[in-house]
Amino acid sequence: MNHSEKYEAAFVSALGISKDDLPGLQYQGVAAWDSIGHMQLIFALEEAFGIMLDTSDIIDLSSFEKGKELLRKYDVEL
């Protein structure tokens, strides 16, 4: 899997949603992306890319698109 596929897979597995739901997806935009879902998502992203996100970035991760931007700080290009 390339980075983009890993990124999508993390959202799909952590939030239990379909790939079709990803474009434009926002925090709390679906029931599964609540505060607990957010922690699951963070864990999934950290596992997928072998990183540990800073708290400020966890708070900033407010959408599917924003996450891509944040991961660049960890040398993950999508």
Partner 1 sequence: MDLLKGKIALVTGASRGIGNAIAELFAQNGASVYANARKIGSLDSLLAKCENSSGRIMPLYFDVTDAAAAKQAVMRIKKESGRLDCLVNNAGIMPDALIGMIDQKVAREVFEVNVFAVMELIQLAARVMVRQKSGSIINLASIVGVNGNKGQLVYSASKGAVIAMTKTAAKELAPAGIRVNAIAPGMIDTDLFRSVGAEKVSGLLRNIGLGRLGKPSEIANAALFLASDMASYVTGQILGADGAALV
Q: Which residues bind partner 1 (CB under 8 A)?
A: 35-36, 39-40, 42-44, 46, 52, 55
Supply the minimum distance, in Å, between the C-beta of residue 23 and partner 1. 25
C-alpha dihedral over 9, 49, 29, 27, to 10 degrees?
170
Which residues on adjacent β-strands are paired with residue 63?
26
Helix (H, G, I), strand (E, B) or coil at 63: strand
Contact status, residue 8 vs residue 1, Cβ threshold 8 Å: no
Q: Which is nearer to partner 1, 17 or 42 (CB)?
A: 42
Cβ at position 39, least distance to partner 1 in Å: 4
* Shortest Cβ 30–partner 1 spacing (Å): 16
